[in-house]
Amino acid sequence: MKRRIVSILLTGAMVSALLAGCGSSSEDSSDTASDASSQEDTASEESTGLDCEGALEGVTLTLGTSGTYAPFSYYADDGMTLQGYDIAMLEELQTILGFEIADDEIQAMDYGALTTSITQGQIDIAAAALCATDERKENMNFTDTYYDAGIVVVVGEDNTEIASVEDLESGDYTVAVQTGTISYEYAAANLPESCLQTFDSQALAYSAVEDGQADATIYDAPGTAYSISTGEINLKIVGDEFYTGQAPYAIALSFAICEEYPDIVDWFNEAIQYLSENGTLDELSTQWCEA
């Protein structure tokens, strides 16, 4: 992942100063002063004016994500570069807040390990389309919501028996779910335990349905829609989106980092609100979630 964009204004100012030193005319000096003023105006225009701007300048944070949930956090075709909505948003937040990522990389892991790592303070923050549930709030802090998603039922293309989540409540169908996700939490609370098959990744859950090992899977709507539209999976969505308003995506912060920087949640919230109000989050949604 790229670190914050480093301004080259200082370099430009140094070059101008050197050129001015080579001449003695007042006109050259005037031009130099004009250039410096122009650069200052540009820097001012780039400033957000937020109280949180640069609040984490010089601070290095350890960050975790999933790397398996397109379009929010997943690997590019090279298999090494993380990309997606969350990754792009983090770059925007870095630009505003000034923090760096430890070793210039993000730790990618499955959701079970991700929530455990943030709970134990092994990582400082997590951005992985992570839902801010009441249960998770007992073990970590969350920013305000930056994206809200519901859950959908996904079945094989030839399946005509399952039409909605209500059909799964009977316990007559095997349902594949990824552990550590909001979908798993929903399934554990609302579906018979005997019908659940658990997997470490949603890719494996999708494969179980495609291979006939499971009758259905439930998962976040945007990720599923993206996987179907791009041909990554040969499945279909049935029924209406459900559990809406219960799956708000937010950035998680460990209690340890919040203790070290008591205002860090407020800083992130202010930056997220700014990105929402200036249209950046809408642009990211269009770019990554409307494939």
For the residues 101-122, what does the mean pLDDT come to?
90
Asked if 233 and 262 sit in the same domain, the reply is no
Q: How many domains does the chain have?
A: 2
Q: Is residue 160 part of a domain?
A: yes
The answer to whether residue 112 sits within a structural domain is yes
pLDDT at position 71 is 92
Is residue 210 in some structural domain? Answer: yes
- Report if residue 217 sits inside a domain: yes
Q: What pLDDT is stored for residue 176 in this prediction?
A: 98
Q: Are residues 187 and 224 in the same domain?
A: yes
State whether 210 and 75 are in the same domain.
no
Give the predicted TM-score (pTM) of the model. 0.70
Residue 36 covered by a domain? no
Whether the Cβ atoms of residue 289 and residue 226 lie closer than 8 Å to each other? yes
The pLDDT score that the predictor gives to residue 291 is 56
141 shares its domain with 255:
yes
Are 1 and 90 contacting, i.e. CB atoms less than 8 angstroms apart? yes
pLDDT tens for each residue of 23-32: 333 444 445 4
Q: Is residue 113 part of a domain?
A: yes
Give the residue-averaged pLDDT of 83-102.
96
Q: What is the pLDDT of residue 9?
A: 32
Residues 96-113, mean pLDDT to the nearest whole number: 89
**In this structure, what CATH number is given to the domain that contains residue 111?**
3.40.190.10
Q: Does some domain include residue 4? A: no
Nearest to 193 by CA among 209, 178, 175: 175
Closest CA to 186 of 203, 206, 169, 170: 169
The lowest-confidence range among 4-8, 88-92, 95-99, 100-104 is 4-8
pLDDT digits (tens, 9 = 90+) for 36-51: 444 444 443 468 899 9
Amino acid found at 88: A
- The reply to whether 236 and 275 lie within a common domain is no
Say whether both 118 and 180 belong to one domain.
Answer: no
Same domain, 137 and 274: yes
Which residue segment(s) compose the domain that 278 sits in? 60-148+248-289
Residue 60's Cβ-side half-sphere holds a number of Cα atoms within 13 Å equal to: 6
100 and 139 housed in the same domain: yes
Tens-digit pLDDT profile for residues 47-73: 889 999 999 999 999 999 998 888 999
Residue 1 in this model has a pLDDT that exceeds 70? no
In this structure, are 156 and 231 located in the same domain? yes
CB atoms inside a 10 Å sphere around CB 262: 8
Q: Do 260 and 271 have their domain in common? A: yes
The pLDDT score that the predictor gives to residue 68 is: 84
